[in-house]
Chain A
Amino acid sequence: MHACSISQPLPSCQKTTPTPCNEIEMRVLTWNVNGLKAVVKNRQTNLKDFLDSLSADIICLQEVKTTKDQIEENIAIAEGYTSYFSFCKTRQGYSGVATFCRTTVTPVAVEEGITGSCHVGLKDSIGFPVLDLNDEETEQLNNEGRGLLTEHLQENGRGLVIINVYCPRVDPDNPDRLPYKIHFLSVLHERTKRLQAGGKDVLICGDFNCVLDIIDSAAMEDMPTFTKEPKTKELLLSFISKTPPITNEVLLDTYRYLHPTERGSYTCWCTATGSRQLNYGQRIDYILASRGLAESVVSSNVLQDEMGSDHCPVVTQFSISLMPSPTLSHLCSSFYSKFAGKQSKLSSFFSVSPIKRSNSGPVKESSSKKLCTLKEKEAAPVSLSRSRDVKTLSSGSKLSTDWQKVFKAPPKAPLCSGHKEPAVLRVVKKPGPNHNRKFYVCGRPDGSKHDPNASCNFFKWCK
């Protein structure tokens, strides 16, 4: 049976699920968007079209980077979806997760924070909380907008809990965060065990900020002995498996299960070094399924073509069918007092008139863009040769040497050893004896050691 045919068929059902009715599927997507507002804006689209373009039933986003005070309707509410947010309560423009569910899979319960302890006693709580923590610990774990749980009802009557997580990142400059991260992950693991013991299936979707295997990190492929955060990795490996789990202790990494040897399926790249160009990244975003769901995994993909963030989305398809809840959780963003009332569209008042444009410019946008790029390419070498001309012309006369003393041209960049291309000038940002010193490195994007197109290890201090 298909979700459309159950209980209350919503009008948008038929439109949003184009699959034939005998095929059961549910697509879950996770993406660290690194600022939801910016992603939607940069794509010059609105939230609904943005979500539709991801074509998933449940969309878990991390690092939405907004607060309840700042969020506006244009990124909080989309037609055809119900949405839930967990904001960071201690810092603005930081962290924050959001789950968007198609109205065909409206959750029966929603909880903020991974421990579940804030929802004890509330009528629409998911239950099975982790309670053996002190108040301070609970607050720390739940206040940074890192966990959001939605519970959906499966057709077989079992509950499916989807945990959207943004695991803490340990900045190399701030190693104090490591114990917090370890604690966060162990509590997350504990909660999943309790939920399963309570008869629920569990999916964890999110950014774990940790590489599990050599083939998941380009840097480790180059240097297999190197492991960042061995403690985190050890902990995650204790409960994430590539093969269908046989206990409630272990969760299935859905992507690795279906693509056990696929290389280069990275989900995150460093923006500073341009490493995405050569796909020199790491796979740190996972969709993990509990034992009960392992048999239902149909496909899993890393959507590396989706731009807009330093991460890319991961999507997994399951052959299960969910039933929409007839009531909405009180955490649904459409209940925020500031969004009272529903925005109507102009099209419901004004009709489209069949006026034909009289005459438009013969040039299409695309071709004009082509023109621009052509010119830019021509311009670069021209300007170079011109500056050389000036130098040769002026080098003879005395006046110009006087001027050269006044206006010193920047020293010519050395050529890098690998490509014989001009190197780029950088400044040391790290505090220490070399702080603010300038140096030259290869201008190519970061990549594998063996990739001739990648940055070579050229380095030279600037005098």
Chain B
Amino acid sequence: MFEARLIQGSVLKKMIDAIKDIVTDINLDCSSTGISVQAMDSGHVCLVLIELGSDGFEPYRCDRNITLGLGLKALSVVVRCANNDDSITIKAQEGTDNINFVFESPNGEKTSQFEIKLMDIDSEHLGIPDTEYDSVVKMPSHEFQRICRDMSQLGDSIVVACTKDGIQFSASGDMGSGKINLRQSSLVDKEEDQINIELNDPVHLTFALRYLNYFTKATPLSPTVTLSLKAESPLCVTYPIGDFGSMKFFLAPKIDDEDTAAATQE
């Protein structure tokens, strides 16, 4: 028996919205400590990692570890039927091939029930190594979304450079080029508007903007976002979910192709 009730059902809606363009199916790995999801896009370039602790649910019951395979299309259709202030309960009985979703309005006058058929999804589980990042930048999530959107007008790739002076995003294409610099903020009223840069080593990495624009669909989940960068390693974009979980996106960098570099110099 698995049962988990999320008071703020809108969180689930936003999470599904954030990943439905990247992956088609997900496995919910449920254990006594919480729910986790790991899914990779078909090109094996980016990975989504959702971790939700059991303390974010009331009640939370998971008698034994269970994996629930779900198609995101169905999940998205069902979750869209919930109102933003509804609570959402996820239920799965052992030995059945369905998962249940119950939406309850805050005053308890309306309840809706949906069932989705479970799927057997084959997916590779990647071991994500504990990484000490060279630079960790925390900034307002809407600011990051804006930067990615603006830069994608100029080119397909974004160069992220972190130095002691701050973080620089740049892109270039046939039309021209652009640069955006952000510096550590000194005085701000709200903590969530702050830009905070922890720098161990300067880094300089290139990423495909297409994926970053998928990631920033998670912006409604959190007012802040954290970018963790390490030379020649995947970028980690973290959106905290309340104080009980997080949604992380990993993106493999673009590397300078020797052939390409040689040819452009010609």
Q: Do A and B come from one complex?
A: yes
Contacts A350-B126, A350-B129 known; list 4 others, CB within 8 Å: A330-B263, A346-B45, A359-B67, A360-B67
- The answer to whether A357 and B43 touch across the interface, beta carbons within 8 angstroms, is no
Q: How far is the CA of A348 from the CA of B255 in the complex (A)?
A: 12
- The answer to whether A363 and B120 touch across the interface, beta carbons within 8 angstroms, is yes
The answer to the question of A400 belonging to the interface, with a C-beta cut-off of 8 Å to chain B, is no
The 3 A-B residue pairs whose C-beta atoms are closest, nearest first, are A361-B118, A363-B97, A341-B254
Could you list 14 examples of A-B contacts with CB < 8 Å?
A: A46-B43, A73-B156, A74-B210, A330-B263, A334-B257, A337-B155, A338-B155, A340-B206, A341-B257, A344-B253, A353-B125, A361-B69, A362-B97, A363-B119
The answer to the question of A364 belonging to the interface, with a C-beta cut-off of 8 Å to chain B, is yes
A330, A337, A357: the one contacting B172 at CB < 8 Å is A337
Chain A residues within 8 Å of B94, by CB: 359
Closest chain B residue, CB of each to CB of A71: B156
Chain A residues within 8 Å of B208, by CB: 73, 343
- Contacts A335-B264, A339-B156 given: A347-B44 contact, CB under 8 Å? yes
Q: How far is the CA of A120 from the CA of B264 in the complex (A)?
A: 21
Chain B residues within 8 Å of A342, by CB: 254-257, 260
- The answer to whether A46 and B42 touch across the interface, beta carbons within 8 angstroms, is yes
Q: Which A residues from 349 to 403 make CB contacts under 8 A with B?
A: 349-353, 355, 357-365, 368, 371
B42, B65, B126, B250: the one contacting A353 at CB < 8 Å is B126
Chain B residues within 8 Å of A360, by CB: 27, 67-69, 118, 120-121
Q: Which A residues from 256 to 312 make CB contacts under 8 A with B?
A: none
Closest chain B residue, CB of each to CB of A354: B125
Q: How far is the CB of A171 from chain B (nearest CB, A)?
A: 33
- The answer to whether A328 and B263 touch across the interface, beta carbons within 8 angstroms, is yes
Q: How far is the CB of B225 from chain A (nearest CB, A)?
A: 20
Contact with B along A145-176 (1 / 0, CB 8 A): 00000000000000000000000000000000
The answer to the question of A435 belonging to the interface, with a C-beta cut-off of 8 Å to chain B, is no
The answer to the question of A72 belonging to the interface, with a C-beta cut-off of 8 Å to chain B, is yes
Closest chain B residue, CB of each to CB of A74: B43
- The answer to whether A344 and B174 touch across the interface, beta carbons within 8 angstroms, is no
- The answer to whether A341 and B256 touch across the interface, beta carbons within 8 angstroms, is yes
- The answer to whether A348 and B263 touch across the interface, beta carbons within 8 angstroms, is no
The answer to the question of A45 belonging to the interface, with a C-beta cut-off of 8 Å to chain B, is yes
Chain B residues within 8 Å of A341, by CB: 157, 206, 254-257, 260
Q: Which A residues from 68 to 97 make CB contacts under 8 A with B?
A: 68-69, 72-74
Q: How extensive is the interface on chain B, given as a class?
A: 35 or more
The answer to the question of A44 belonging to the interface, with a C-beta cut-off of 8 Å to chain B, is yes
Closest chain A residue, CB of each to CB of B211: A343
Closest chain B residue, CB of each to CB of A335: B263
The answer to the question of B109 belonging to the interface, with a C-beta cut-off of 8 Å to chain A, is no
Q: How far is the CA of A344 from the CA of B68 in the complex (A)?
A: 30
The answer to the question of A345 belonging to the interface, with a C-beta cut-off of 8 Å to chain B, is yes
Q: How far is the CA of A72 from the CA of B173 in the complex (A)?
A: 13
- The answer to whether B126 and A346 touch across the interface, beta carbons within 8 angstroms, is yes
Q: How far is the CA of A68 from the CA of B255 in the complex (A)?
A: 22
Q: Which B residues from 35 to 63 make CB contacts under 8 A with A?
A: 40, 42-47
Most chain A beta-carbon neighbours within 10 Å: one of B24, B46, B257: B257
Chain A contributes a number of interface residues (CB within 8 A of B) equal to: 41
- The answer to whether B67 and A338 touch across the interface, beta carbons within 8 angstroms, is no
Closest chain B residue, CB of each to CB of A341: B254
- The answer to whether B117 and A368 touch across the interface, beta carbons within 8 angstroms, is yes
Closest chain A residue, CB of each to CB of B118: A361
Chain B residues within 8 Å of A363, by CB: 97, 117-120
Q: Which B residues from 201 to 222 make CB contacts under 8 A with A?
A: 206, 208, 210
- Contacts A73-B210, A344-B252 given: A334-B124 contact, CB under 8 Å? no
- The answer to whether B44 and A362 touch across the interface, beta carbons within 8 angstroms, is no
A46, A335, A340, A350: the one contacting B128 at CB < 8 Å is A350
- Contacts A353-B125, A368-B117 given: A346-B264 contact, CB under 8 Å? no
- Contacts A73-B208, A362-B97 given: A340-B264 contact, CB under 8 Å? yes
Q: How far is the CA of A82 from the CA of B242 in the complex (A)?
A: 46
- The answer to whether B127 and A352 touch across the interface, beta carbons within 8 angstroms, is yes
Chain B residues within 8 Å of A357, by CB: 27, 29, 67
Q: How far is the CB of A366 from chain B (nearest CB, A)?
A: 9
- Contacts A45-B42, A345-B45, A361-B120 given: A352-B67 contact, CB under 8 Å? no
A72, A337, A348, A365: the one contacting B174 at CB < 8 Å is A337
- The answer to whether A344 and B95 touch across the interface, beta carbons within 8 angstroms, is no
Chain B residues within 8 Å of A343, by CB: 43, 45, 208, 252, 254
A346, A358, A361: the one contacting B250 at CB < 8 Å is A346
Chain A residues within 8 Å of B22, by CB: none
- The answer to whether A355 and B125 touch across the interface, beta carbons within 8 angstroms, is yes
Chain A residues within 8 Å of B95, by CB: 362
- Contacts A342-B254, A342-B255 given: A352-B45 contact, CB under 8 Å? no
Q: How far is the CA of A328 from the CA of B119 in the complex (A)?
A: 45
Q: How far is the CB of A451 from chain B (nearest CB, A)?
A: 37
Q: Which A residues from 190 to 224 make CB contacts under 8 A with B?
A: none
The answer to the question of B66 belonging to the interface, with a C-beta cut-off of 8 Å to chain A, is yes
Q: How far is the CB of A365 from chain B (nearest CB, A)?
A: 5
Q: How far is the CB of B98 from chain A (nearest CB, A)?
A: 8
- The answer to whether A368 and B127 touch across the interface, beta carbons within 8 angstroms, is no
The answer to the question of B259 belonging to the interface, with a C-beta cut-off of 8 Å to chain A, is yes
Q: How far is the CA of A334 from the CA of B259 in the complex (A)?
A: 10
Q: How far is the CA of A126 from the CA of B238 in the complex (A)?
A: 51
Chain A residues within 8 Å of B8, by CB: none
The answer to the question of B234 belonging to the interface, with a C-beta cut-off of 8 Å to chain A, is yes
The answer to the question of B233 belonging to the interface, with a C-beta cut-off of 8 Å to chain A, is yes
Q: How far is the CB of B213 from chain A (nearest CB, A)?
A: 11
Q: How far is the CA of A322 from the CA of B179 in the complex (A)?
A: 45
Q: How far is the CA of A371 from the CA of B96 in the complex (A)?
A: 15
Q: How far is the CA of A328 from the CA of B69 in the complex (A)?
A: 45
Q: Which B residues from 191 to 248 make CB contacts under 8 A with A?
A: 206, 208, 210, 233-234
